[in-house]
Amino acid sequence: MGLKFSRVAVVRVDSKGRLVVPKRIRDKVGLREGGFAKVYAR
């Protein structure tokens, strides 16, 4: 695919299918509650 990422994190999926992103990562990238994020999975 050739995509390069500046930030890579392992996140968990909860029982309702939501991604659980650690607070440290959310703060770094400026992700707020109710916000949207682009996700690449492999």
> Mean of the per-residue pLDDT values for the chain?
82
Give the C-alpha separation, 27 to 41, whole Å. 21
Contact predicate 18/28, CB 8 Å: no
Which tokens is 5 given? 């990422």
Distance CA 32, CA 26 (A): 7
Domain layout of the chain by residue ranges: 1-42
pLDDT digits (tens, 9 = 90+) for 1-14: 556 656 677 889 99
CA distance 23 to 32: 10
Report the alpha-carbon distance of residue 5 to residue 40 in Å, rounded.
9
Q: Which amino acid is at 40?
A: Y
pLDDT at 14 (0 to 100): 93
